[in-house]
Amino acid sequence: MSIQESDSTPEMLARLGLKSDKDRLIEACENLHDLVYIYVSSTNTIFRLLQVHHGTNFPIMPVKEHFSIKENLQLVVSALKEMQATVETKDKDLQGSISHSLYAKIADPTTSLQDKIAAVKEVYENYKEVVESITGTLIAVMLKHGNLPDTVESAVHQLLSSPALSLQVSELLVEYADILKILQQYETPSTTEGSSSLSETSQQLRLHSPPSPTSLFVFLQTILQGHRSIKKSQKIAADYLEEAFRVLKPPCEGFQTFVKTVEACILAITDN
- Quick one: how far is CA 227 from the chain centroid? 30
Most confident option among 57-66, 91-100, 193-202: 57-66
Res 141 pLDDT > 80? yes
Q: Cα-flanking dihedrals φ and ψ of residue 23, to 5°?
A: -65, -40
- Comparing 203 with 48, which gets the higher pLDDT? 48
Report field, pTM of the whole predicted structure over 0.85: no
- Which residue intervals of the chain are DSSP H helices? 10-15, 21-54, 69-95, 100-107, 113-127, 134-144, 148-158, 176-183, 196-205, 215-224, 230-270
Q: What is the mean pLDDT of the chain?
A: 80
pLDDT on residue 70: 96
Q: How far apart are CA 259 and CA 170, in angstroms?
A: 26
Q: Cα-flanking dihedrals φ and ψ of residue 37, to 5°?
A: -65, -35
- Comparing 179 with 163, which gets the higher pLDDT? 163
pLDDT on residue 194: 46
Nearest to 52 by CA among 249, 224, 266: 266
Res 90 pLDDT > 60? yes
